[in-house]
Amino acid sequence: MTRLRIASPDPILIKSSSEEVIPYQKRVVKQGATFSLPPIAKLSAGIEKDEVLAEIIDMLISHGYSTDDYDEWIKDGFLLRSLGEFGYDMFLRISQSSKNFNGESDVRKKWNQLSNSSCTPDQCFAVFKKKACELIGPSAYSDAKINVLKRHVKKK
């Protein structure tokens, strides 16, 4: 007999076999049982990080995040620089939340002056995820992902 142990007390797996599952934190499944992911789990595997980052930035702005401090604004620009034109779009969104916003042309000019970032897109994502958790709360990342999932479900 082969045993499959799942660490989560509530795995995201739906049983699609007549095999018996022992209800306990460590679930044991008899050989031959098959599982399929629910539609929401299949969809979450296809979410792009840039969609989640855009949602995180929108959530930050809606919770009062702004780059009125010039140094913080430049740091955000350097982070977002690693994302190319998508990063510029996010930098523009953040810039528009500042009381010092002087128009898109000024943002583009500053963007072009920023040197290429030495951080990776994953590092950029992690920093904004951390900012969201600090400002909004520990569920900020999950909430952002859920919002993106909802939009995907509506499209289908």
The predicted structure's pLDDT at residue 133: 92
Task: Give the pTM.
Answer: 0.67
The predicted structure's pLDDT at residue 32: 54
Residue 12 CA to residue 37 CA, distance in Å, equals 7
Closest CA to 60 of 71, 48, 70, 72: 72
Burial 63-87 (b: 16+ CB within 10 A, else e): eebbbeeeeebeebbbbbbbbeeeb
Q: What mean pLDDT value characterizes the chain?
A: 76
The tokens describing 119, both together, are: 């951080």
The predicted structure's pLDDT at residue 11: 43
The predicted structure's pLDDT at residue 118: 77
Alpha-carbon torsion, ordered 76, 80, 81, 86, to 10 deg:
-140
Q: Give residue-wise pLDDT tens across range 75-88.
A: 999 999 988 899 99
The predicted structure's pLDDT at residue 156: 61
Domains of the chain, residue spans: 1-36, 49-155
The predicted structure's pLDDT at residue 33: 52
Helix (H, G, I), strand (E, B) or coil at 39: helix
Q: In which residue ranges of the chain is pLDDT below 70?
A: 1-47, 117, 155-156
Contact in structure between 44 and 67 (CB atoms under 8 Å): no
